[in-house]
Amino acid sequence: MIIRKSQAEIEKMARAGAVVWGCLDLLGRKIEPGITTKELDRLAEKYIRDKGGVPTFKGYRGFPGSICASPNDMVVHGIPGKVRLREGDVLGVDVGVTMDGYIADGATTFPVGEISAKAHELLRVTEESLSKGIAQCRIGNRVGDISHAVQTHAEAHGFSVVESMVGHGVGREMHEDPQVPNFGPAGQGPELREGMVLAIEPMVNFGGFEVEMGDDSWAIYTKDGGLSAHFEHTVAITKHGPRILTTAEVAGG
């Protein structure tokens, strides 16, 4: 069942989204060679709680971190820990914030120091794929239009999209209907209607699309060991078009 949100609910989600954005912005300024993902997790939790939010992921099905921190060939769901970042790494950071009972979910993949041109291209194309997907978030379109836009852009650059994990509706629950795959034909799936809020999250691999789970039963890695990137925004479908909620708070908005 797809739960559409009222204007007031969307504003609550935007306030959570502003904390997601602020947290990612903070971490982006702290990420450098030598820092551990555990240190980033502590910074994130303090930031989120200081803003009056709760880190949504902490305790979710027993997840121990406030963020997911997924370096290099790890696609998503990395538990923050002793991993010490090195020059040339990329680090996917996923942040969920609950405020006033509503959740926003966003992710960015950051370069650590100087990264290779190939890695840079993967990050750029994945972020562009997210933008292409968001551009499809218009009343009357279908979920498949988002999926198709993401896949088409990523594959046009020779990359592959992960199929076994997908974006999702979001609201009072972190994972609501509908699922939002990053692949598939246009014109299919649920129709987009005003008040739907979707977490759109392309996961794009440098090599093959296949992934496998790590020993901790959380981390997801590329099967071929190639780099992976992940970008995510929470987006509301409005009569004025897509509204990204995981962004800086609009003054007076």
Residues of this chain that bind Mg ion (CB under 5 A):
105, 199, 201
Q: Report how far residue 227's alpha carbon sits from residue 205's, in angstroms, rounded to the nearest whole number.
A: 6
Question: Residue 142's beta-bridge partner residues?
Answer: 191
Nearest CA-CA partner of 227 in 120, 83, 105: 120
**Nearer of residues 9 and 105 to Mg ion, judged by Cβ:** 105
Our CA angle for 66, 181, 15, nearest 5°, is 40
**Nearer of residues 73 and 105 to Mg ion, judged by Cβ:** 105
**Nearer of residues 17 and 115 to Mg ion, judged by Cβ:** 17
Cβ 93 to Mg ion shortest distance, Å? 12
Phi and psi, residue 137, nearest 5°: -80, 70
Cβ 226 to Mg ion shortest distance, Å? 22
Cβ 105 to Mg ion shortest distance, Å? 4
CB 197 within 8 A of CB 5: yes
**Nearer of residues 12 and 115 to Mg ion, judged by Cβ:** 12
Cβ 139 to Mg ion shortest distance, Å? 22
Cβ 74 to Mg ion shortest distance, Å? 16
**Nearer of residues 89 and 105 to Mg ion, judged by Cβ:** 105
Instruction: Give me the DSSP letters along 58-86.
Output: TTGGG---SEEEEETTEEE-PPPSSPBP-
**Nearer of residues 115 and 176 to Mg ion, judged by Cβ:** 176
ω before 178 within 30° of 0 (cis)? yes
Cβ 33 to Mg ion shortest distance, Å? 28
- In the numeric block, the tokens 């496998």 are attached to 212
Q: Report how far residue 218's alpha carbon sits from residue 90's, in angstroms, rounded to the nearest whole number.
A: 19
